[in-house]
Structure 1
Amino acid sequence: MSSARPLDSWGIGYYFVGLSDEIKTLTQNVRPLRDEYGAEAFYNIAVLPSCRLTPNLQVARPGLVGVDPPITFGLRLETIF
């Protein structure tokens, strides 16, 4: 990461779930579906060599038509022993 914080790390990820045209057609009169995609970004902070704190942000476009995109903030604490 950097010479000042060698145990820290970060990353970004992206996913895509593509639905077939057949599935979209079958569900259009019940609950319309569409392709879904989302992304995540995180920063892994090494508080101690055996303790890490990881905040992350996730954003997605849901597969259900008419549903607002969720924006989720998370925080994870990991202890290694």
Structure 2
Amino acid sequence: MERSSSFENSWADQWDYGDDPVLPAGKMNSVGHGGRKNGVEKTKAMAATGLKKMKQGTTSGFNWIKDKYQKRAQKQ
């Protein structure tokens, strides 16, 4: 089994015959990539979205329980 060296080309580099596109200076974001987000930014966005959905679900669940309790309390 051969160990790969850090100086060897990756699989994608071996099959990529074209040059990498050059982005205009105005199109760079703070990370240095064009319109792409890095892994940390994607994770933060997904976590924020998940937290919002969880908060909405929890709120609707508590409201449902509260309504059921109020209906039960009115009958007695």
Give the helix-richer structure, 1 or 2.
2
Task: Flag the structure with higher strand content.
Answer: 1
Do these two structures clear the TM 0.5 threshold for a shared fold by scoring above it?
Answer: no
Between structure 1 and structure 2, the one with the greater Rg is: 2
Higher relative contact order (CA 8 A, sep 6+): 1
TM-score normalised by L of structure 1: 0.19
